[in-house]
Structure 1
Amino acid sequence: MTQKNISKNHVDENVVRLVATQIFLITLITLLTGWAWLALFLVADFGLRAFTRIPSPLATLARGIATALKLTPKPIFAPPKRFAAILGLFFSVGIAIFLFLNYLNAAYAVGAILIFCAVLEAAFNICLGCYVYNWMVVPLAHRNMNKN
């Protein structure tokens, strides 16, 4: 199976984990340097992954790395990952705002949460946003479907 064979409702787990590794590194650099524009890059990247089918820069790079390493694609269900990207978008917006306002401790706190989530995904294949999706979004969707 190649990258192109994965359906629109699925993403490659290897690519997701490589993106999480990049998010960890970029967030760490952002917090260590205070470069708010890096946080804005994360905002744009998360926004592309959450709300469009346009390949984000980090996903494109991760796909290239996965191909170069000849990693066998592992399709996983995409909607929980898109929801996790929405959460990442909010964290990135928070980091950017706090850095622009020079609220460094708040930026560090929000950044630490994003780093924690990225490390869990990259190193241990644990997606906290996916758990939130399954605990909150799916039950709400089922409840709304049952009302109709």
Structure 2
Amino acid sequence: MSDVKGLYIDEHVVRIVAALVSVITIVLLFTGWEWLAVLLTVDFALRAFTRLPSPLAWAAKAVAKQAHWPPKPIFAPPKKFAAAVGSVFSILIFLFLHFQLITLYYITAFILLACAVLESVFKICLGCYMYNWIVIPFVNLSQKNRQHS
């Protein structure tokens, strides 16, 4: 898919990645393996802050290709913002688990799991809503300020 240099990504890949995040988070909740939180952090960070393919995105692209699903382009910036939020949640999960703050660990992991399930099953991206409520107003305000200067 021609992604107009980062402006669009494949929705099928996004939803498969969310399903993989759900599975990893469930395993993390049952095992408490800190390295899974590190894996999620790295994966989210790669998707949010670079153009490099993350391990989960790479796997999701392979699944979508194998399923012969035609690319379904969606606007990438809200998804990248959601991945940045996911990286923050993953860092918090690691820290809470590492320092034995178990209640906070479970709360944070369940929130991440809920967000991933909403995206993968229902196409509801809570991070994208946050992008529209937080980022877009600041961008619009910044553009207005530039026009008046």
TM-score range, shorter chain: over 0.9
Per the normalisation by structure 1, the TM-score is 0.96
Post-superposition Cα deviations, 1:63-115, rounded to whole Å, max 9, x if no partner, equal: 00000000111000000000000000000000000111111111110001000
**How do 1:1-148 and structure 2 match up within 5 A?**
3=1, 5-7=2-4, 8-148=6-146
Residue ranges of structure 1 left out of the alignment (5+ in a row): none
Give the aligned residue type for 1:118: A
Give the aligned residue type for 2:22: F
The root-mean-square deviation of aligned C-alpha atoms, in Å, is 0.7
Give the aligned residue type for 2:3: I
Q: Which moved more, 1:98-107 or 1:79-88?
A: 98-107
Residue ranges of structure 2 left out of the alignment (5+ in a row): none
Per the normalisation by structure 2, the TM-score is 0.95
Give the aligned residue type for 2:103: N
Q: 2 CA distance for matches of 1:145 and 1:89?
A: 28
What secondary structure is seen at the aligned counterpart in 2 of 1:102? coil
The structural deviation recorded for 1:6 is: 2.8
Q: 2 CA distance for matches of 1:71 and 1:98?
A: 39
Percent identity between matched residues is 48
Q: 2 CA distance for matches of 1:101 and 1:95?
A: 10
What secondary structure is seen at the aligned counterpart in 2 of 1:11? strand
Q: How many residues align?
A: 145
What secondary structure is seen at the aligned counterpart in 1 of 2:9? strand
Give the aligned residue type for 1:6: D
